[in-house]
């Protein structure tokens, strides 16, 4: 290696270069060689490491060299991966003389996509807020999920929220394998009720929907409640195929007057829960704070303010109705505490594991068959007993 190292100053004709403009960014290297300009052998453009080459510059004048690069050529030399809004890139020009001396100069150009909020992955402009292959950043695929504002998850379908179940987005209002909650399988639950699984649906917050069919005239209230479900509707099917809708508490006539058609079957639509929405139901009152409401062993027991609800001027102890056992967490199961026309579902601890301090195992007379032994708190004037029971010395009887 002989001679002196050339000096290089590098500049570009633009400070920001944008994709999709069908133009080029021109880089100009001004080279000074004290051994004479004829000593310069090559000038080439690279990244700052010198490992990625964009190309050789062409002599423009005695001491200036130039190269024009398109977006595609820049990406070929060094893949363009940018955050949303773009970012700076450093370019380096090397001047090599005939004595193998090498000098360099650098400049920065901001690269960005034509849609300024987008980023770029390998030169392709990408909207990170929704891209299934590049969610939030390059090479971040969503798999079976969705890209929601740059985060892998599950978005809404209209006004309906989705759930993430087993790496897939599901609609809990209609998905019969994940009805209301992951793994809540309606086909399995309808089969457990002893009903046909040919027609099974998810009825959203009301749970699963099954269709028992009985070759007799009977009320659908009776058919549904026998399995702890709630009647949504009923029909009578007749010999000609005619179907007549009846109320849940009405048995279809055994014969239709028109055509003297005989009843073939009673068909019912049964849901696991009463139709939504469930209003909060009073557990007694009045109350001032939630500490006045220890009646039911339940999360989210609260005191409704008389200011917010003028119909309860002294306040009201309430518990939101549950839909599924999974909503209850450590506070038991979602139990229908009434077999009246309007069921009341509450998160109650059954007695199988005992009751926590301050609660007792009670057999509520109106509770759903097979789920009646639950933990109740100490009763009082503020916290009366369930329907059908009376409070005696703090104990529901």
pLDDT at res. 345:
55
Q: Domain for residue 164, yes or no? A: no
- For residue 168, tell me if it sits in a domain: no
What's the residue count for the chain? 397
Answer yes or no: do 43 and 62 share one domain.
yes
Written as one string, the DSSP assignment of 93-135 is EEEEETTS-EEEEEEEEEEE-SSTT-EEETTEEE-TTT-SSBS
User: Is-contact 42 56, C-beta < 8 A?
Assistant: yes
Say which CATH number the domain at 65 has.
2.60.40.1930
Beta strand 102-112 with 16-18: parallel, antiparallel or unpaired?
parallel
Asked if residue 375 and residue 301 are part of one domain, the reply reads yes
- Reading the chain (397 residues) residue by residue, the pLDDT tens digits are 567 888 999 999 999 999 987 789 999 999 998 777 778 889 999 999 989 999 999 999 989 999 999 999 999 999 999 999 999 999 999 999 888 888 999 999 999 998 888 999 999 999 999 999 999 999 999 998 999 989 999 988 877 888 889 889 999 888 999 988 888 899 999 999 899 888 899 887 778 999 999 999 999 999 999 888 988 888 889 887 888 888 888 898 888 766 678 999 999 999 987 654 333 333 344 566 666 554 443 444 556 555 554 444 555 555 545 555 555 555 555 555 554 444 455 555 666 666 655 566 766 544 444 445 666 555 554 445 555 567 777 666 6
Number of domains in the chain: 3
The whole-angstrom separation of Cα 124 and Cα 118 is 10
**Residues 249 and 285 placed together within one structural domain of the fold:** no
Helices then strands, counting H and E runs in the chain, come out as 3, 33
Q: What is the pLDDT of residue 247?
A: 82
Residue 153 lies in a domain: no
Q: Of 394, 396, 397, 362, which Cα lies nearest the Cα of 380?
A: 394
Are both 322 and 250 inside the same structural domain? no
**Nearest residue to 19 via CA among 118, 126, 113:** 113
The β-bridge partners of 318 are 282, 302
Say yes or no: 75 and 103 in one domain.
Answer: yes
Q: Are 318 and 282 in contact (CB under 8 A)?
A: yes
Please say which residue of 253, 271, 289 terminates a domain: 271
| Side-chain-facing half-sphere of 225: CA atoms under 13 Å | 17
Task: Give the phi and the psi of residue 175 in degrees, each rounded to 5.
Answer: -75, 110
Angle of CA points 147, 151, 155, to nearest 5°: 50
Number of neighbouring beta carbons within 10 Å of residue 243: 13
Instruction: State whether 286 and 392 are in the same domain.
Output: yes
Residues 295 and 240 in one domain: no
> Which pLDDT score is estimated for 242?
80
pTM of this prediction exceeds 0.85? no
Contacts 24+ apart (CB under 8 A), 329-335: 329/299, 331/297, 331/298, 331/299, 332/297, 332/374, 332/375, 333/371, 335/367, 335/368, 335/371, 335/374
Domain boundary among 247, 271, 295: 271
Contact 46, 14 (CB under 8 A): no
Give the strand pairing for 316-319 and 25-32: unpaired
Q: Are residues 286 and 260 located together in one domain of the fold?
A: no
Q: Is residue 40 part of a domain?
A: yes
Supply the Cα-derived Rg of the chain in whole angstroms. Answer: 37
Domain end call among 215, 247, 271: 271
Let me know whether 302 and 392 are in one domain.
Answer: yes
Contacts of 354 (CB under 8 A, 6+ apart): 361
Sign of the Cα pseudo-torsion (166, 273, 363, 280, in order): positive
pLDDT at res. 77: 94
Give the Cα separation of 248 and 65 in Å (integer).
89
| 380 found inside a domain | yes
Query: Is residue 157 one of the residues assigned to a domain?
Result: no
Does residue 306 sit in the same domain as residue 204? no
Within-domain flag for 129: no
Helix (H) / strand (E) containing 262: strand 261-271
Q: Which domain holds residue 22?
A: 7-116
> Residue 37 domain-assigned?
yes
Same domain, 261 and 340: no
Q: Is the dihedral of CA 210, 213, 214, 216 positive or negative?
A: positive
| Positive or negative torsion for Cα 274, 276, 279, 283 | positive
Examine the domain organization and report whether 18 and 55 are in the same domain. yes
């Amino acid at each position: 290696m002989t001679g002196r190292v050339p000096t290089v100053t590098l500049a570009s004709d633009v400070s920001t270069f944008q994709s999709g403009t069908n133009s080029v960014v021109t880089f100009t290297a001004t080279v000074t060689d004290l051994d004479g300009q004829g000593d310069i052998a090559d000038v080439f453009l690279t990244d700052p490491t010198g490992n990625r080459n964009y190309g050789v510059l062409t002599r423009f004048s005695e001491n200036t060299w130039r190269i024009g690069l398109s977006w595609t050529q820049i990406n070929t030399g060094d893949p363009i991966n940018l955050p949303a809004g773009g970012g700076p890139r450093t370019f380096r020009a090397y001047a090599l003389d005939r004595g193998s001396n090498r000098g360099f100069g650098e400049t920065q150009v901001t690269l960005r996509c034509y849609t300024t909020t987008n980023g770029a992955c390998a030169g392709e402009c990408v909207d990170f807020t929704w891209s299934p292959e590049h969610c939030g950043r390059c090479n971040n695929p969503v798999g079976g999920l969705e890209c929601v504002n740059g985060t892998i998850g599950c978005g809404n379908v209209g006004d309906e929220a989705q759930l993430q179940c087993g790496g897939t987005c599901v609609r809990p209002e209609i998905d019969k394998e994940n009805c209301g909650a992951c793994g809540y399988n309606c086909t399995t639950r309808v089969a457990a009720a002893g009903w046909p699984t040919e027609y099974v649906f998810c009825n959203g917050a009301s749970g699963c929907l099954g269709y028992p069919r009985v070759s007799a005239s009977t009320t659908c209230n009776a058919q549904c409640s026998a399995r702890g479900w709630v009647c949504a509707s009923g029909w009578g099917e007749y010999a000609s195929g005619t179907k007549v809708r009846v109320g849940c508490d009405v048995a279809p006539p055994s014969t239709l007057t028109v055509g003297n058609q005989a009843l073939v079957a009673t068909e019912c639509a049964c849901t696991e829960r009463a139709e939504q929405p469930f209003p909060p139901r009073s557990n007694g009152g009045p109350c001032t704070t939630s500490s006045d409401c220890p009646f039911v062993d339940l999360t989210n027991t609260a005191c409704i303010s008389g200011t917010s609800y003028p119909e309860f001027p002294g306040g009201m102890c309430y518990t939101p109705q549950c839909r599924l056992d999974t909503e209850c967490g450590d506070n038991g199961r979602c139990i229908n505490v009434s077999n009246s026309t309007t069921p009341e579902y509450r998160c109650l601890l059954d007695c199988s594991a005992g009751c926590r301090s301050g609660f007792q195992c009670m057999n509520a007379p109106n509770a759903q068959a097979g789920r009646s032994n639950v933990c109740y708190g100490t009763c009082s004037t503020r916290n009366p007993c369930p329907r059908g029971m009376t409070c005696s010395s703090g104990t529901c009887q």
